Amino acid sequence: MTEIVRQFGTPLFVYDGNMIRERYETLRRSFPSFDVFYSMKANPSLALIGLLRSLGAGSEIASGGELFLAREAGYDPLDIVFAGPGKSDRELEEAIISGIYAINAESFRELEHIAHISKLVGVPARVALRINTSVGLTKSGGGSAGPLHERMAGGPSKFGIDEEKLDRLGKSWDKRAIEIVGIHVYTASQILHEDEIIENAKRTLAVADHVESVTGTELVAIDFGGGLGVPHYEEEASLDMPALGAAVEDVFRPFSSRSDSRLILELGRYLLSESGVFVSRIIELKESRGERFVITDGGINQFVRPVLMKVRHQAKVVNKLASTGGGTAKVAGPLCTPIDITSQEIEVPEDVALEDLVGIFNAGAYGYSMSPQLFLSHATPAEALVLDGEMHEARKRGRVEDLLLNQRPLPEPE
């Protein structure tokens, strides 16, 4: 890590490309009937997007900006699906004209609107109906999942069409403008219980059968969101991917055995989270009324997830992993706000010193792009990808001059 920091400086996101490749290959072995689509929202760094495309992944996007990045990275439009509950006219138009595999319609109104835009541009649209299933997770959240697992189905939700309203769809959509190719079901994220994921698969297949009976159309695609989690805490275990894959494959076999059917597994966190480390440099050591603080040059403006999502990320002094005996401290960033705490507890070595390096782990997903980079006007961090022993600059470090981008001062008085 010291050599990477010497080359790219701090604060810095470092990604292990070999781990990302191993995760992708594990999914392909465990879910052989599924196409693996990368949920770009997890980390839209062009280097990572390109790496996953080179491995064979498709792309699940959630904005026009992500569509632009996916095309820049070379994704085939037929390997792109577009999710999200608030797509603009411009985004829908670009998606339709680009010929992506499916736009995930989140409401009946959006379905009608897609048809309207499709007719305006003279290009038919492929659509998957996103369904808010009547049942979501059956177990309470906890641990690194937080209290709600970021639930997206099973209750009131801005995502998807309520399952009990599906009978309203009937056969009334504009078939000249829209082809309903499939369904999309995403129940929750960060699920670490195999039985929950298997039950989600069973519900998804049942919903597909219901949609087919209502529409009179045989579906060709099921986008099974997955929501596969990664452990953050010692008491949490990794998913048994081969066993889970075999069980989910068995559930979907009646669908996958059809000719020309397509199953999509849509993942972000599982592919990237554990590959990333947020590295910052210690710039101050402080004790205040019995509590110790390690203050670093990187804060929640660059890695906000521990505070925003109330998730505990493991932290270590990465250049002194062999040293022991110094007790515990909080890791704080340089921001002028008391919420700027990236780790509530870190074991610090007895010889901890200024210029040592703190690594916050599980930072590959929802790190750089989720964070309020402009907060308190610090330069943005760099990103580096390590792949097959080589270090690649994935994103240059920002400059303070970048803060002026797109700003216009008041004119001088005449």
Residue 207: what pLDDT?
95
42, 194, 278, 284, 348 from 375: Cα distances, Å: 21, 39, 18, 21, 28
- Number of helices (H) and strands (E) in the chain: give both, helices first: 10, 18
Least confident of 61-70, 89-98, 141-150, 237-246: 141-150
Q: From CA 130, how far away is CA 114, in angstroms rounded? A: 14
* Domains, in order of start, for the chain: 2-10+274-404 (2.40.37.10), 31-267 (3.20.20.10)
Q: How confident is the model at residue 142 (pLDDT cuts 50, 70, 90)?
A: low
Q: Cα–chain-centroid distance for residue 347?
A: 29
Q: From CA 410, how far away is CA 339, in angstroms rounded? A: 33
Looking at per-residue pLDDT, the higher value among 321 and 189 belongs to: 321
pLDDT in tens, 130-141: 999 877 676 655
Residue 138: what pLDDT?
64
Taking alpha carbons only, the member of 370, 365, 320 closest to residue 346 is 320
Residue 148: what pLDDT?
43
Give the pTM: 0.94
Long-range contacts at 17-22 (CB < 8 A, ≥ 24 apart): 17/51, 17/275, 17/385, 17/386, 17/387, 17/388, 18/386, 18/387, 18/388, 19/274, 19/275, 20/48, 20/51, 20/52, 20/271, 20/272, 20/275, 20/364, 21/51, 21/55, 21/387
Length, in residues, of the chain: 414
Provide the percentage of residues in the chain whose pLDDT is more than 90. 80
pLDDT in tens, 361-407: 999 999 999 999 999 999 999 999 999 999 999 999 999 999 999 99
Q: From CA 363, how far away is CA 385, in angstroms rounded? A: 13
Segment 77-99 mean pLDDT: 97
At a CB cut-off of 8 Å and minimum separation 6, what does 333 contact? 280, 295, 296, 297, 298, 299, 300, 301, 302, 340, 341, 342
Segment 167-187 mean pLDDT: 88
Instruction: Quote the crossing angle between the two packed helices 46-55 and 17-30, to the nearest 10°.
Output: 40
pLDDT in tens, 295-349: 999 999 999 999 988 888 999 999 999 888 889 999 999 999 999 999 999 999 9
Residue 374: what pLDDT?
93
